[in-house]
Amino acid sequence: MGKIAFVFPGQGSQNVGMGKDLFEQNEKVQQTFHIADTTLNYSLSDLIFNGPQEKLTLTYHAQPAILTVSYALLEALKVEGISPDYTAGHSLGEYSALVASQAIDFKDAVHTVSKRGEFMEEAVPNGQGAMAAILGMDREKLADITESVTKNGDPVQLANINCPGQIVISGSATGVEQAGKEAKELGAKRAITLDVSGPFHSVLMEPAASKLQSVLDEIDVRDAKVPVISNVTAQPVTTANEIKERLIEQLYSPVLWEDSVKTLLSLGVDTFIEVGPGKVLSGLIKKIDRSVTIYSVFDSDSLNKTVEALRGE
């Protein structure tokens, strides 16, 4: 068997009730939720299990919620003796990856992503920024479009390079609208405006980055025991200093997801385990390379099936 990568989802994968079945069966998972609740000084677990969805979707709730459920599932995998050779996460998911690689403690990560969510919400007044998914266009062509729109005074840039034919752009609302229009005129299949609260992974997030720096300076970031593939460089990082630098840059830089998966493939990974709510990353990985084995671990049933499959039972 080749190498295993654990990959962790980002914002957008949240749903009311996620992790509840695991919580009801597993004492260690209950402890995880308790740590999150006490760290944040409110009942995140109640919000995760009972909603409402609109409240759970707010950036500063969604980020710690997804991290908590991902960590609970990670702990359950660990009990079964399954561990990764590499980790990676999509945007927010990079924090889950760093916890899995023992570079950051779970408690510190929950605090940090809650603050990160607040800073991202505050960085740009509502309605002034936007994001859109552009389908069916290659990145060079789309980068040319965003650069020319930005030169005309409306900043917009590539934000998430997810898989062939799926790229998200981010920036000012007018910039994103104009770039989407031009992309369609030049052959993109679709331009879909995303339901997000801000222009994440664009230069408009720089005010949030400087605030995040001060939070990261307060917590203990260690060298990673398992290499983490950075969103910013799509290369493995292990040293504490570089991890911190990349987390700051990540707020206003593109998430190089397609490149990250290709890096993992080149490192000998042939099995990907998505750990966390939803199956978004599993779908993206399939579009990058159909030949790899992919498991999605999002509840107790999928956890058991994955464990059985990996053990060859």
Give the active site residue among 61, 90, 111, 201: 201
Task: Let me know if 61 is a catalytic residue.
Answer: no
Report whether 29 contacts 19 (CB < 8 A).
yes
Q: What is the DSSP letter of 255?
A: B
The reply to whether 201 belongs to the active site is: yes
Contacts by 230-238 with C-beta closer than 8 Å and gap 24+? Answer: 230/94, 230/260, 231/89, 231/90, 231/91, 231/94, 231/255, 231/256, 231/257, 231/260, 232/256, 234/259, 234/260, 234/262, 234/263, 235/263, 236/86, 236/263, 236/267
- Which of 125, 156, 162 lies closest to 143, judged by CA? 156
8 A C-beta contact, residue 273 and residue 6: yes
Per the residue annotation, which of 13, 45, 70, 91 is the catalytic one?
91
Please give the positions annotated as active site: 91, 201
